[in-house]
Amino acid sequence: MNNLQEVCQRAKDASYKLALLGNEDKNKMLLAIAEKIENSKEIIKKENAIDIANAQGVLSNAMIDRLTMTDARINLMAEGVRQVASLEDPVGKVVNTWTTPNGLEFKKVRAPLGVIAVIYESRPNVTIDVASLCIKSGNCVILKGGKEAINSNRALFNIIQKALEENGYDKDIVGFVDDVSRETTYELLQQSKYIDVIIPRGSENLKKFILTNSQIPVIASSGGNCHVYVEKTADLKMAEDIVYNAKMQRPSTCNACEQLLVDKDIAEEFLPKMIARLQENNCKVLGCENTRKIVPSVIAATEEDYKTEKNDYILTIYVVNDYKEAIDRINANSTKHSEAIISNNQSIIDTFNKMVDSGCVYTNTSTRFTDGFEFGFGAEIGISTQKLHARGPLGLEQLTSEKYLVKGQGQVRK
């Protein structure tokens, strides 16, 4: 048995021990991890500095910012773990009860998925988010981060294991794959004997590779080619503020706006102010032919640009004839993550909500709210862009399944 298989088997063995622990023990683990994070700032920053140095000239400034660990961000990580500890434990929650005519008593309860492997890219805080959510929901987890954050991720994993071990818990509740190669990812995807679910958290390319090669069920959590559509009845000042927030507040995140669709009837009024505001704040603007006729400084966009998540200060604009064309373009080009309509026409809003095939659909607000914390989940392990078994932010409840507990008094089937 090689090292990867050993990590997977140890996680499987630990999952049975974890199943016996209640909310009090899980919270003790989480609070110990939070304290250990706060007391290990210098270690985290030292290893993170290596990742940042390696990223220079390779990643964009926005992606380097996403990678960077500061004292404030480390404190936020620890606070996030404490917030997860304060959440209601979904395990054992009774979903439904009933009794059949033969006297059998049925109880449907929430139960952990078991062992979850999470394969993710860039952001080291994902290591802590994922581990804390899995522990709280009663799942063991195997972490495999990307090469950009390997030193940071390794340091955080060691902190988690030390916190667990020092407090008398099985350290293998959280496992770590130290090899960042694609070959090892492929091997991990074959470990169906030990792993119950795979969750990818990263680019569309990562998601496609995992869906193509996994022998294990996948909850696809991937990149966001997110759209904002400004319909002709929109309040244009509100639309401008929403688009600016959705694009500029943190462009490296998967819920940032990448594509702006504007109704032709308002394009000449809306686009000059919108584009000027973006360009004045160092956002590169690409656009269709009609956009460039209105604002000649806009760079010509290719068809590929409309399908691409840039994760940077870059926005692509397309002028549509009406809401029907907007919906068609969104469904053709999106990654089924988050889309928004800015409109005062309720009939069009209703149609948009029904026909746009994405996990999160917004009206008159920013796509940046696609986040477990903003949804009131406390945190999230990723954003599911598929329809089974969960969609949208994956919070604690989405990390559980259902189990039927059936009680009888000696009944036998006739």
CATH number at residue 353: 3.40.309.10
What's the predicted TM-score (pTM) here?
A: 0.86
Same domain membership, residue 13 and residue 99 = yes
CATH number at residue 394: 3.40.605.10
Same domain membership, residue 155 and residue 168 = yes
> Does 7 fall in a domain?
yes
> Does 413 fall in a domain?
no
> Does 376 fall in a domain?
no
> Does 374 fall in a domain?
no
Same domain membership, residue 273 and residue 166 = no
User: Percentage helix, strand, coil, to 5, in the chain?
Assistant: 45, 20, 35
Q: Determine how β-strand 383-384 pairs with β-strand 392-393.
A: antiparallel
Torsion of CA 128, 133, 139, 141, to 10 degrees: -20
Same domain membership, residue 287 and residue 253 = yes
Partners of 401 in the β-ladder: 111
Listed residue (127, 118, 128) closest to 150, CA to CA: 127
| Residue 286 three-state SS | strand
Tell me the C-alpha distance between 12 and 49, whole Å.
34
Listed residue (124, 7, 331) closest to 339, CA to CA: 331
Listed residue (397, 394, 402) closest to 198, CA to CA: 394
Q: Give whole-number Cα distances, 132 to 86, 394, 398, in Å.
A: 11, 13, 14
Listed residue (215, 225, 165, 222) closest to 193, CA to CA: 215
Report the pLDDT value the prediction gives residue 223, as an integer from 0 to 100.
Answer: 77
| Residue 348 three-state SS | helix
Same domain membership, residue 204 and residue 58 = yes
Same domain membership, residue 327 and residue 190 = no
Same domain membership, residue 69 and residue 115 = yes
Per-residue pLDDT of the chain in tens (414 residues, 90 and over written 9): 579 999 999 999 999 999 999 999 999 999 999 999 999 999 999 999 999 999 999 988 888 998 999 999 999 999 999 999 999 999 999 999 999 999 999 999 999 999 999 999 878 999 999 999 999 999 999 999 999 999 999 999 999 999 999 999 999 999 999 999 999 999 999 999 999 999 998 877 888 999 999 999 999 876 799 999 999 999 999 999 999 999 999 998 899 999 999 999 999 999 999 999 999 999 999 999 999 999 999 999 999 999 999 989 999 999 999 999 999 999 999 999 999 999 999 999 999 999 999 999 999 999 999 998 899 887 788 899 888 888 999 999 999 999 999 999 999 999
> Does 414 fall in a domain?
no
Q: What's the total number of domains in the chain?
A: 2
Same domain membership, residue 264 and residue 197 = no
Same domain membership, residue 105 and residue 235 = no
Domain that holds residue 236: 226-369
Q: How far is CA 263 from the centre of its chain?
A: 30
